[in-house]
Amino acid sequence: MSLWGGRFKESTNQMFKNFNDSLKFDYRLAEQDIISSIAWSKALMTVNILNSKEQKQLEQELNILLDKVRINPKEILSSQAEDIHSWVENELILKLGELGKKLHTGRSRNDQVTTTLRLWCKVNIKQLLQNIFELKKILILTAERNQDVIMPGYTHLQHAQPITFAYWCLAYLEMFIRDENRLKDTLKRLDYSPLGCGSLAGTTYNIDRYQLANWLGFKSITNNSLDTVSDRDYVIEFISNAAISMIHLSRFAEDMIFFNSHEVGFIELSDEVTSGSSLMPQKKNPDALELIRGKCGRVQGALAGMMMTLKGLPLSYNKDMQEDKEWLFHTVDTWNECITISSLVLKKLTVNKIRCRDALKQSYCNATELADYLVSKGIPFRTAHCIVGKIILEAINQKSTLEDLDLNQLKNFCSFITEDVYSILDLQSCINKRNSQGGVSFLQVMHAIKSAKKNLSKSFKELKNF
């Protein structure tokens, strides 16, 4: 049964119906639509549209429906209803007859859809925060276990300065914490109830919107009804959070694909997250990571798509806005999946400490140290940089490391160099000297892990009280 039969003489063209209906994707909003319908029935009782017996009956029937959709949401898909809102209403009318027809009094699908969608966002933000929590946990654990694994840090994919595997983990931890905070910020802005805004200009019934918001667990209510039914900022924000986080995940994946490559070999991915080749028996491909890298594109596309959907739309609700859901659902599914798979990859990861250290041989990663050493002897940095450059050229010629050049050779480049230079060139010393706040020294990394653990237990408590 359609919701708007009265004014029409002809029936809907089937092709148009298929085009127009959103049930095939918005059935995922069933729980939230039922919950907001229960709250609306209570509001209708406060303005005497429903008596208490009627409200109870409606609430009871809605709760039965809620149990049903929780068990098997896909059953909804066999219905011919236009969207999830009409599906819920139709079900009530089927069960309760005339009483079911009272529920939509004073409400429009325009305030209903955005209420439902905001509630859906809240549930899914919680799920995402949960998954980010797991990722942070395993990342911290991996960092903790690999504090003594020294490896090259890169710029331009060229060996730059020595870092530790733990430090690399902590860099990504920072990104995921920012992603988490962005989600929490978005939640703050979307936690306002639209119910009671009607089609666009408010409702004629004297309902208490604050009470409604409270029943639904919203922090407060939205202000202007015209804005409320037009607003999908929270969808854009949600997707853009995902787009930023997917960029982080794709870089994380790419770093590991590189570390796992034959030439590099810093890590080995587990059989559980790799696949073989149909032809080449020796292959073990990093498909999980490549897919994370690849799926990033979909989410960037969804962000652009969602923005284009809203661009230039006149106020207030327009059917274009029905398109928001597929972008959002697809984004949230992809993001959740990529976070979970990233955790799985990390959980089973083997770090090859020897390969990491060996990579630093002849990489001249300690060149900056030598320049700083010359600075400590009173040479201006720019001059020191030039002297060290020449020493490196000589070392390359001799196929030697800096520390394997003997003192006389070094003195030829600069007479200030003395025996103490060798302890400076030691990798451990290179790392420990970078003891500035946030630097790579073992001490700084230890502090960072400690504070990361504190952050983790704070997130844990927050999730419990969500």
Q: Where in the sequence numbering do the catalytic residues fall? A: 156, 277
For the bound state, the minimum distance from the C-beta of residue 18 to ligand ARG, rounded and expressed in Å, comes to 14
DSSP 290-355: HHHHHHHHHHHHHHHHHHHHHTTPPSS--GGGGGHHHHHHHHHHHHHHHHHHHHHHHHT-EE-HHH
For the bound state, the minimum distance from the C-beta of residue 200 to ligand ARG, rounded and expressed in Å, comes to 9
Q: 61 or 83, CB closer to ligand ARG? A: 83
Cis peptide before 316 (omega within 30 of 0): yes
Query: 315 Cβ partners below 8 Å, 6+ apart?
Result: 200, 226, 227, 230
Q: 21 or 369, CB closer to ligand ARG? A: 21
Q: 235 or 365, CB closer to ligand ARG? A: 235
For the bound state, the minimum distance from the C-beta of residue 322 to ligand ARG, rounded and expressed in Å, comes to 4
**Residue corresponding to tokens 């790419």:** 254
For the bound state, the minimum distance from the C-beta of residue 46 to ligand ARG, rounded and expressed in Å, comes to 25
Helix 109-145, helix 442-464: angle, nearest 10 = 150
The binding site for ligand ARG (CB under 6 A) comprises 22, 26, 83, 85, 109-110, 113, 317, 319, 321-322
Residue 155: strand, helix, or coil: strand
Query: 277 Cβ partners below 8 Å, 6+ apart?
Result: 283, 285
Q: 28 or 137, CB closer to ligand ARG? A: 28
* CB distance 173 to 143 below 8 Å: yes
Q: What span, in angstroms and rounded, lies between the C-alpha atoms of 236 and 242?
A: 10
Cross-strand pairs, 221: 193
DSSP 33-99: HHHHHHHHHHHHHHTTSS-HHHHHHHHHHHHHHHHHHHH-GGGGGGS--SSHHHHHHHHHHHHHGGG
What DSSP state is assigned to residue 100? G
Q: 32 or 274, CB closer to ligand ARG? A: 32
**Rounded-to-10 torsion of CA 198, 204, 207, 212:** 0
Q: 2 or 214, CB closer to ligand ARG? A: 2
Q: What span, in angstroms and rounded, lies between the C-alpha atoms of 151 and 28?
A: 47
For the bound state, the minimum distance from the C-beta of residue 323 to ligand ARG, rounded and expressed in Å, comes to 8
* CB distance 461 to 454 below 8 Å: no
For the bound state, the minimum distance from the C-beta of residue 61 to ligand ARG, rounded and expressed in Å, comes to 22
For the bound state, the minimum distance from the C-beta of residue 441 to ligand ARG, rounded and expressed in Å, comes to 54
Q: What span, in angstroms and rounded, lies between the C-alpha atoms of 443 and 85?
A: 57
Q: 13 or 60, CB closer to ligand ARG? A: 13
